[in-house]
C-alpha cells in the first residue's frame, strides 16, 4: 500500500501533520507505551471500542423490543440458542470489518468506491442512508416509549437524543467520543437486570438450548420473526461503522488480536443483554402477551410493571432509553463516515468541524431529520420501528458480499486475507440472511396483493 516516497512526504513539508494525524498519533503513543511496558490490561483498555460499540449499538431499541416480543409471544425455547448463534454470525462479519479497517486504515465506503467503482460505492451509501434514517426514527421512538413510562413526551425524547449527539460531537477527538459512547453502552446491561428481577426459572433457560419448541404460527409470522431477529443482530451500519471506526482509532495489523477480543467481547455482552430482554419479555408469556398487543411492543415497560413489579418496568424503560440513545450516536456516526468517505471529504472525529464539515453535518443532520419525523403528528412511528430491522436484513447481503470481497483482496490485505474457514462461514451467513430477508419480502408482498392467503 505505501511507498517510502509517499510516506516521507509529510516529513518534508511545513506544516508536517494535520490535526487528525496529531490526535491519532497521541492515541497511538499510549498504545505503543503500553505494549512496550507489557501493560496487558491497559493495552486492552486502550484498544477496545469499535467492536463493543458496534455490537451493543445494534442492541438498540427495535432490537430489544423484538427480543422481548419473541419472549412474550413464544417463550424461551428456540430463541435462547438462536440469539447467541446470530451474534456468532455477527462476530464473523464484524471481525472482517475490523481487520480490513486496521490493515488498510480506510473505511468501508471509500474502499468499495475506490476499488470497485463509484456506482457500487454510492449504492452502498444509499442503502445505508435509507436504513439508517428508518432505524434512527425507530431509536427516537424507543426513547419516547421509555420516557412515556415516566410520563414524558416526544419533545423530551427529541431534546435528549439531539443533546447527546451535540455533546459527543463537541470534543474534536475520536477517543473522547468513543469513551463517552462506551460508558453509555454499558447501561445496556439494564436488560440483564430486568431479566434477573423477573426471577426466571434457571432450569427452563438451560433446557431451552435444544432449539425447542419451534415457534408456532403462520409461515409468514415465522419469516418475520427470523428476518427481524437477524436484523436485530447484523446490519449494514455495523459494517460501515466498525471498519471506519477501527481506521479512525488508528488501529494497525499489530492490533488485530485485540480487535478480535474487542469484537468477541461485544458479541458476548450483546448476546447476554439480548437474552436479558428475551427473558424479561417471557415474563408476559403466561399472560398471553397481554398489554403489548395493542401497543405493538411499545407497552412493554407498563405491561412488565403490572406482571413483574414496578422495578422491572422502570429498569426496562430505562434500558429502552439507553438502547435508543446509544444507537442514535453510533448510527449517526456510521452515516457521517459513509458521507465523508463517498464525497472524499475529511471523515474523522479527530478533525475539527471546520476541517470536516461534511462529516459533522451528516452526523448531526441525519439525527435531526429522524427527530423531525417523530414530531410529525400521526406519523406511523411504531410501524416504522417494527419494519426497520426487516429492511436492514433485506439490504444486508450486498454489503456483506463487498465485505467478503474486500477481506479477500490480497492487493489490499496482503497476508491478512480471509482464511478458507472464514470465507465458508461468511458465505453461509450471506446465503442465510439473503434467504430469510427475501422469503419474508416475497411472501408478505404476495399476501398484500392477495395472491396467497395469510
User: Per rule CB under 8 A, is residue 32 in the interface with another protein?
Assistant: yes
> Could you tell me which of 346, 427, 342, 388 has the C-alpha nearest to residue 96?
427
Output 248 or 262, the one with its CB closest to another protein: 248
d(CA 286, CA 309): 15
- Contact map string, positions 174 to 213, toward another protein, x by CB under 8 A: ----------------------------------------
Output 221 or 447, the one with its CB closest to another protein: 447
- Start-to-end C-alpha separation, the chain: 55
User: Per rule CB under 8 A, is residue 14 in the interface with another protein?
Assistant: yes
Q: How far is the CB of 361 from another protein (least distance, A)?
A: 16
Those residues whose C-beta lies under 8 Å from the C-beta of residue 8, and which sit 6 or more positions away, are none
Number of DSSP helices (H) and strands (E) in the chain, helices first: 21, 0
CA atoms within 13 A on the CB side of 126: 7
User: Per rule CB under 8 A, is residue 4 in the interface with another protein?
Assistant: yes
Q: How far is the CB of 98 from another protein (least distance, A)?
A: 16
Other residues' Cβ atoms within 10 Å of the Cβ of residue 427 = 13
Q: How far is the CB of 230 from another protein (least distance, A)?
A: 14
Q: How far is the CB of 110 from another protein (least distance, A)?
A: 8
Contact, 258 vs 40, CB < 8 A? no
Other residues' Cβ atoms within 10 Å of the Cβ of residue 136 = 28
> Could you tell me which of 254, 104, 111, 246 has the C-alpha nearest to residue 178?
246
| Rg, Å, the chain Cα set | 22
Those residues whose C-beta lies under 8 Å from the C-beta of residue 13, and which sit 6 or more positions away, are none
Q: Which of residues 377-416 bind another protein (CB under 8 A)?
A: 380, 383, 387, 390-391, 394-395, 397-398, 401, 409, 411-412
Contact, 407 vs 96, CB < 8 A? yes
Output 151 or 410, the one with its CB closest to another protein: 410
- Contact map string, positions 118 to 157, toward another protein, x by CB under 8 A: --x--x----------------------------------
- Provide the grid cell at 344: 472524499
Q: Which of 35, 115, 260, 306 binds another protein (CB under 8 A)?
A: 115
User: Which window, 6-14, 179-187, 256-264, 421-429, contacts another protein (CB under 8 A)?
Assistant: 6-14
Q: How far is the CB of 199 from another protein (least distance, A)?
A: 37
Q: Is 408 helix (H, G, I), strand (E, B) or coil?
A: coil
Q: Which of 182, 290, 373, 438 binds another protein (CB under 8 A)?
A: 438
Q: How far is the CB of 330 from another protein (least distance, A)?
A: 22
Q: Which residue has the cell 470497485?
A: 116
> Could you tell me which of 239, 256, 236 has the C-alpha nearest to residue 417?
256
User: Per rule CB under 8 A, is residue 249 in the interface with another protein?
Assistant: no
Output 7 or 376, the one with its CB closest to another protein: 7
Phi, psi of 360 (to 5 degrees): -70, -35
Q: Which of 16, 37, 199, 257 binds another protein (CB under 8 A)?
A: 16
Q: Which of residues 314-373 bind another protein (CB under 8 A)?
A: 344-346, 354-355
Q: How far is the CB of 51 from another protein (least distance, A)?
A: 20
User: Per rule CB under 8 A, is residue 255 in the interface with another protein?
Assistant: no
Q: Which of residues 207-246 bind another protein (CB under 8 A)?
A: none
Q: How far is the CB of 228 from another protein (least distance, A)?
A: 11
Contact, 232 vs 58, CB < 8 A? yes
Output 204 or 361, the one with its CB closest to another protein: 361
d(CA 372, CA 92): 36
User: Which window, 102-110, 308-316, 327-335, 362-370, contacts another protein (CB under 8 A)?
Assistant: 102-110
Q: Which residue has the cell 471506526?
A: 245
Those residues whose C-beta lies under 8 Å from the C-beta of residue 235, and which sit 6 or more positions away, are 58, 131, 135, 389, 392, 393, 396
> Could you tell me which of 307, 400, 329 has the C-alpha nearest to residue 108?
400
Contact, 213 vs 76, CB < 8 A? no
Q: Measuring CA to CA, how many Å separate 410 from each of 56, 336, 415, 419, 423?
A: 31, 28, 7, 12, 14
Q: How far is the CB of 355 from another protein (least distance, A)?
A: 5
Q: Which of 156, 171, 186, 252 binds another protein (CB under 8 A)?
A: 252
Q: How far is CA 4 from the centre of its chain?
A: 38
- Contact map string, positions 58 to 97, toward another protein, x by CB under 8 A: ----------------------------------------
User: Per rule CB under 8 A, is residue 376 in the interface with another protein?
Assistant: no
Site residues for another protein per CB under 8 A: 1-2, 4, 6-7, 9-11, 13-22, 24-26, 28-29, 32, 104-106, 111, 114-117, 120, 123, 247, 250, 252, 344-346, 354-355, 380, 383, 387, 390-391, 394-395, 397-398, 401, 409, 411-412, 437-438, 440-442, 444-445, 447-448
Amino acid at each position: 500500500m505505501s511507498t517510502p516516497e509517499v510516506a516521507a512526504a509529510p516529513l518534508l513539508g511545513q506544516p508536517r501533520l494535520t490535526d487528525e494525524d496529531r490526535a491519532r498519533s497521541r492515541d497511538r503513543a499510549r498504545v505503543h507505551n503500553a505494549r512496550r511496558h507489557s501493560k496487558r490490561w491497559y493495552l486492552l483498555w486502550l484498544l477496545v471500542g469499535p467492536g463493543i460499540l458496534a455490537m451493543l449499538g445494534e442492541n438498540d431499541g427495535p432490537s430489544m423490543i423484538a427480543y422481548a416480543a419473541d419472549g412474550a409471544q413464544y417463550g424461551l425455547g428456540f430463541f435462547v440458542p438462536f440469539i447467541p448463534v446470530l451474534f456468532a454470525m455477527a462476530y464473523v462479519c464484524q471481525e472482517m470489518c475490523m481487520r480490513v479497517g486496521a490493515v488498510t486504515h480506510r473505511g468501508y465506503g471509500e474502499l468499495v468506491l475506490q476499488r470497485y467503482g463509484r456506482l457500487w460505492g454510492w449504492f452502498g451509501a444509499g442503502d445505508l442512508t435509507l436504513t439508517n434514517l428508518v432505524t434512527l426514527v425507530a431509536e427516537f421512538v424507543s426513547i419516547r416509549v421509555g420516557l412515556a413510562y415516566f410520563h414524558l413526551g416526544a419533545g423530551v425524547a427529541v431534546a435528549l437524543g439531539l443533546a447527546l449527539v451535540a455533546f459527543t460531537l463537541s470534543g474534536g477527538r475520536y477517543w473522547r467520543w468513543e469513551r463517552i459512547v462506551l460508558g453509555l453502552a454499558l447501561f445496556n446491561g439494564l436488560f440483564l437486570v430486568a431479566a434477573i428481577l423477573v426471577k426466571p426459572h434457571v432450569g427452563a433457560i438451560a433446557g431451552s438450548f435444544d432449539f425447542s419448541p419451534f415457534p408456532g404460527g403462520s409461515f409468514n409470522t415465522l419469516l418475520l420473526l427470523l428476518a427481524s431477529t437477524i436484523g436485530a443482530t447484523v446490519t449494514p451500519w455495523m459494517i460501515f461503522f466498525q471498519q471506519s471506526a477501527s481506521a479512525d482509532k488508528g488501529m494497525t495489523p499489530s492490533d488485530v488480536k485485540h480487535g478480535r477480543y474487542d469484537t468477541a467481547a461485544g458479541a458476548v455482552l450483546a448476546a447476554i443483554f439480548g437474552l436479558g430482554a428475551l427473558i424479561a419479555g417471557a415474563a408476559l408469556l403466561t399472560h398471553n402477551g397481554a398489554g403489548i398487543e395493542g401497543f405493538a411492543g411499545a407497552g412493554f415497560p407498563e405491561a412488565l410493571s403490572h406482571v413483574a413489579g414496578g422495578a422491572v418496568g422502570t429498569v426496562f424503560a430505562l434500558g429502552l432509553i439507553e438502547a435508543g440513545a446509544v444507537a442514535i450516536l453510533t448510527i449517526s456516526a456510521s452515516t457521517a463516515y459513509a458521507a465523508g468517505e463517498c464525497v472524499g471529504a475529511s471523515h474523522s472525529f479527530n478533525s475539527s468541524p471546520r476541517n470536516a464539515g461534511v462529516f459533522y453535518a451528516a452526523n448531526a443532520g441525519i439525527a435531526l431529520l429522524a427527530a423531525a419525523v417523530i414530531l410529525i403528528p400521526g406519523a406511523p412511528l411504531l410501524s416504522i420501528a417494527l419494519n426497520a430491522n426487516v429492511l436492514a436484513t433485506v439490504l444486508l447481503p450486498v454489503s456483506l458480499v463487498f465485505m467478503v470481497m474486500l477481506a479477500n483482496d490480497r492487493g489490499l490485505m496482503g497476508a491478512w486475507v480471509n482464511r478458507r474457514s472464514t470465507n465458508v462461514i461468511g458465505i453461509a451467513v450471506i446465503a442465510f440472511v439473503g434467504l430469510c430477508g427475501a422469503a419474508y419480502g416475497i411472501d408478505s408482498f404476495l399476501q398484500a396483493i392477495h395472491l396467497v392467503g395469510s
